């Protein structure tokens, strides 16, 4: 089945060699999504998890619907409303709720590092459903990247309370949900405009979280700082971020695109250091080197 409107070319195999433009877009997306953990760390403790989630998704959906209504390229909701609901739940509602809870109880850097398990989930799921080949080179690169992330966080002391363990588990479940969302996109939205797909999933997710806006409230109110943070989460990290994300999936494949989460922690740590004054461990340089080395293995086509 094919959606109306401008269609993208056939989504390529994840083995395609990336062009400089693809690398730049991947880095830009990593910088944008890296800042989301900073914003969540500020907003969630101030106004609560449910209100943060509801406002983030609803504002992002409204912005994208208005843009596409203006250019008359809205998604085909009638034909794909079920798929948009599933994708909105997998890519937005479930992982956003899980990550927001986790970051509120851990910190921005650790939340981003745990989120970097997404490529592993995506590769396994893509191998099962899409029959993508798991080369030794790609697997080695991913495991080196995960090792780099482990070094990156260093030996930050965290009290392993029940809430901490639950937060770690929730972060891993969010990564699994993102992986499912990436594969689901490859299966059901191979030839659709990526920006229409992003708008469709955001619209569906906004309907799902609408009750959160109706029944949620904040005793602290929304001051100027929190309003700016919520707008950044919605417009920058969600609307723009997912538009770029789907564009990358359409050009380089789901597995390659999912490796953006290997770079997200690097940017998250930088933003958290600059704005939240979270400490950088001595392992940063070694971890960063391992991550960048792993990307060369993961993103390069096998000979």
61 pLDDT tier (thresholds 50, 70, 90): very high
φ/ψ of 281, rounded to 5, equals: -80, 160
**pLDDT value of residue 283:** 64
299 pLDDT tier (thresholds 50, 70, 90): low
Render pLDDT for 209-264 as a digit per residue (tens, 0 to 9).
988 887 776 666 678 999 999 999 999 999 999 889 888 887 887 678 877 877 88
Q: How high does pLDDT run on average in the chain?
A: 82
Cα→Cα distances 280→40, 84, 108, 174, 264, Å? 19, 40, 12, 25, 15
Q: List CB contacts of 165: < 8 A, sequence separation 6 or more.
A: none
List the one residue out of 10, 98, 63 whose CA is nearest residue 198: 63
**pLDDT value of residue 290:** 81
- Pairwise pLDDT comparison (213 vs 66), residue with the higher score: 66
Residue ranges covered by each domain of the chain: 49-299
Distance in angstroms (rounded) separating the CA atoms of residues 285 and 292: 11
Among 78-92, 97-111, 126-140, 194-208, which is the least confidently predicted range?
126-140
**pLDDT value of residue 14:** 46
Render pLDDT for 101-142 as a digit per residue (tens, 0 to 9).
998 888 787 888 888 888 778 878 888 787 777 788 878 888
List the one residue out of 299, 300, 291, 247 whose CA is nearest residue 269: 291
Give the residue carrying structure tokens 């910190």.
Answer: 107
φ/ψ of 5, rounded to 5, equals: 95, -175
């Amino acid at each position: 089945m094919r959606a109306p409107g401008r269609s993208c070319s056939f989504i390529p195999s994840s083995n395609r060699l990336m062009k400089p433009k693809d690398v730049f877009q991947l880095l830009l997306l990593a910088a944008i999504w890296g800042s989301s953990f900073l914003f969540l760390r500020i907003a969630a403790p101030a106004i609560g998890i449910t209100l943060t989630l509801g406002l983030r998704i609803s504002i992002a959906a409204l912005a994208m619907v208005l843009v596409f209504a203006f250019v008359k390229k809205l998604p085909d909701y009638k034909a794909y409303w079920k798929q948009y609901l599933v994708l909105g739940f997998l890519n937005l509602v479930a992982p956003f709720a899980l990550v927001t809870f986790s970051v509120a109880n851990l910190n921005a850097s650790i939340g981003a590092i745990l989120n970097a398990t997404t490529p592993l989930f995506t590769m396994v799921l893509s191998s099962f459903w899409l029959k993508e080949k798991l080369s030794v080179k790609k697997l080695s690169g991913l495991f080196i990247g995960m090792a780099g992330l482990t070094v990156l966080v260093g030996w930050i002391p965290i009290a392993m309370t029940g809430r901490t363990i639950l937060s770690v588990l929730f972060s891993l479940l969010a990564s699994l949900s993102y992986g499912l969302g990436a594969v689901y996109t490859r299966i059901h939205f191979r030839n659709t405009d990526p920006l229409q797909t992003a708008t469709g999933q955001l619209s569906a997710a906004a309907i799902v979280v609408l009750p959160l806006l109706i029944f949620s409230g904040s005793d602290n109110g929304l001051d100027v700082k929190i309003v700016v943070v919520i707008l950044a989460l919605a417009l920058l990290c969600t609307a723009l971020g997912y538009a770029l994300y789907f564009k990358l999936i359409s050009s380089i494949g789901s597995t390659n695109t999912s490796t953006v989460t290997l770079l997200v922690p690097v940017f998250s740590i930088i933003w958290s250091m600059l704005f939240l004054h979270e400490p950088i461990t001595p392992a940063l340089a070694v971890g960063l080197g391992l991550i960048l080395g792993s990307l060369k293995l993961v993103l390069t086509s096998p000979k």
